[in-house]
Structure 1
């Protein structure tokens, strides 16, 4: 299992996507505001996702 890094875009739970802001031992903190339909979904702007529950969509540019 590859662990995401800060700046990676990940996908989790039925297609939600976000940018990784912080990597913890067992999870990542993700900013969801990059999604086009973010406001329609009425979600919090950040969430925590376990490393086992996401896949990396895009690597960070750095």
Structure 2
């Protein structure tokens, strides 16, 4: 399993995407406000995602 790093963009749960803000032992904290349709989703701006439940879309350069 590849663990994301802060700044990486990850995809999880039915196509939601977000930028990793913090990496914890078993999860990452993800900022989903980078999505174009964020306001339409009516979700909190930050969410916690287990390492098993995301894929890395873009890594920080």
Fold shared per TM-score above 0.5:
yes
Bigger share in helix: 2
- Runs (4 or more) in structure 1 with deviation over 4 Å come to none
Runs (5+) with no aligned partner, structure 2: none
Question: What is the TM-score with the length of structure 2 in the denominator?
Answer: 0.99
1:2-59 Cα shifts (integer Å, max 9, x gaps): 0000000000000000000000000000000000000000000000000000000000
Question: What is the TM-score with the length of structure 1 in the denominator?
Answer: 0.97
Runs (5+) with no aligned partner, structure 1: none
CA distance in 1, matches of 2:60, 2:7: 5
RMSD: 0.3
Task: Identify the residue that residue 51 of structure 1 maps to in structure 2.
Answer: 51
- Structure 2 SS opposite 1:56: strand
